[in-house]
């Protein structure tokens, strides 16, 4: 439902340089390939105690560092399929609320009553995966200090993320994030969002069944492939090919490669029939520079 990854930078010369580079990247980029769509600095960061600019956050990170940690970074990334169910005009606010709810609830669950300083920046990138490129993927990057103020002790204490069996903070973070996602989806999408998502996944599974129902329609390189449809979301579908391709982990798994996207469901079904006949006649498939099937009917 939502990814919540935690990393940290060490309080060393290299760590400080890496930290500053990270803050600049978060401020002035949407992704590796896209610059920020709005001005950086104070207009971009949500300040909850760590600052609103690269300079402020770097200064407070140095002031609040622990012996082993200069800065924690956390990514809160809702699944594109789920964020796609949220109205476009509500997506930024959805991620803002998800971030605030998750961070606050996480430290409440850990019993840190005074809270922890943090700042966050929202990125508005699109997915670059092979199966569904170009889908909305808004997410938040959160920065946290290496220490927090302990009111009982009257001083700052090291902040840590334990993965011990008796206190697994990473599992706790994931659980809190999931709870926050459910609450916000109920509000922004409706209480039937889970049933709607189950239906979408069931349709996709049925559509992928073509690889076991029919002989391969053509060969792409040395890979047998099947022309078919994949439902992108509740409103649109894509036409392309199914085949067994290596994923990012190097495992060969059944995947879809789109050739035409943003079609209504009926139109996609009609186009898939034509595409099937087309590649069966040619027995081979052209590819473009991005390693996607080319559909020219």
The values of phi and psi at residue 131, to 5°, are -75, -45
Task: Report how far residue 18's alpha carbon sits from residue 9's, in angstroms, rounded to the nearest whole number.
Answer: 7
User: Residue 295: what pLDDT?
Assistant: 53
User: Residue 122: what pLDDT?
Assistant: 93
Mean pLDDT of 175-196: 97
Mean pLDDT of 5-13: 92
Q: What is the DSSP secondary-structure string of 90-150?
A: GHHHHHHHHHHHHHHHHHHHTT-TT---EEEEEEEEE---SSSTT-EEEEEEEEEESEEEE
User: Residue 296: what pLDDT?
Assistant: 52
Q: Which domains does the chain have, with CATH numbers?
A: 2-191 (3.30.930), 203-282 (no CATH)
Tell me which residue of 164, 178, 200, 163 sits closest to 77, measured CA to CA: 178
The pLDDT tens digits for 59-77 are 999 999 999 999 999 999 9
* Reported pTM: 0.87
User: Residue 178: what pLDDT?
Assistant: 96
Selected residue with higher pLDDT from 8 and 38: 8
Task: Report how far residue 81's alpha carbon sits from residue 65's, in angstroms, rounded to the nearest whole number.
Answer: 37
pLDDT above 50 (res 12): yes
**Percentage of the chain modeled with pLDDT above 70:** 92
Token pair of 210 as six digits: 């073509």
**Residue 258 in contact with residue 133, Cβ under 8 Å?**
yes
The pLDDT tens digits for 234-251 are 999 999 999 999 888 889
Task: Report how far residue 269's alpha carbon sits from residue 227's, in angstroms, rounded to the nearest whole number.
Answer: 11
pLDDT band at 289 (very low <50, low <70, confident <90, very high): very low
pLDDT band at 1 (very low <50, low <70, confident <90, very high): confident
pLDDT above 80 (res 179): yes
**pLDDT, the chain, mean:** 89
Three-state DSSP at 112 gives coil
The pLDDT tens digits for 96-139 are 999 999 999 999 999 998 889 999 999 998 888 788 888 999 99
Selected residue with higher pLDDT from 295 and 86: 86
In this structure, which long-range contacts are made by residues 161-164, counting pairs with CB atoms below 8 Å and at least 24 apart in sequence? 161/6, 161/72
């Amino acid at each position: 439902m939502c990814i919540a990854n935690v990393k940290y930078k060490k309080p060393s010369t290299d760590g400080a340089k890496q930290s500053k580079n990270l803050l600049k990247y978060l401020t002035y980029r949407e992704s590796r390939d896209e610059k920020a769509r709005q001005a950086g600095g104070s207009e971009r960061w949500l300040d909850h105690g760590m600052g609103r600019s690269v300079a402020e956050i770097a200064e407070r990170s140095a002031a609040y560092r622990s012996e082993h940690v200069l800065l924690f970074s956390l990514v809160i990334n809702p699944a594109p399929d789920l964020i796609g169910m949220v109205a476009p005009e509500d997506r930024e606010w959805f991620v803002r609320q998800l971030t605030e709810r998750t961070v606050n609830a996480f430290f409440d669950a850990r019993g840190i009553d005074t809270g922890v300083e943090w700042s966050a920046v929202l990125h508005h990138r699109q997915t670059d995966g092979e199966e569904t490129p170009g889908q909305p993927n808004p997410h938040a990057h959160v920065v946290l200090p290496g220490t927090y103020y302990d009111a009982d002790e009257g001083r700052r204490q090291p902040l840590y993320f334990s993965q011990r069996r008796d206190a697994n903070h990473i599992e706790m973070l994931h659980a809190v994030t999931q709870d926050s996602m459910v609450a916000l989806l109920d509000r922004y999408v409706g209480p039937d969002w889970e049933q709607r998502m189950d239906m979408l996944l069931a349709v996709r599974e049925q559509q992928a069944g073509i690889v076991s129902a029919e002989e391969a329609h053509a060969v792409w390189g040395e890979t047998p492939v099947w022309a078919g449809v994949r439902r992108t979301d509740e409103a649109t579908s894509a036409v392309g090919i199914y085949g067994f391709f290596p994923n990012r982990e190097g495992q060969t798994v059944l995947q879809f490669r789109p050739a035409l996207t943003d079609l209504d469901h009926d139109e996609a079904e009609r186009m898939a029939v034509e595409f099937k006949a087309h590649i069966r006649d040619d027995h081979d498939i052209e590819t473009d520079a991005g390693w996607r099937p080319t559909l020219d009917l």
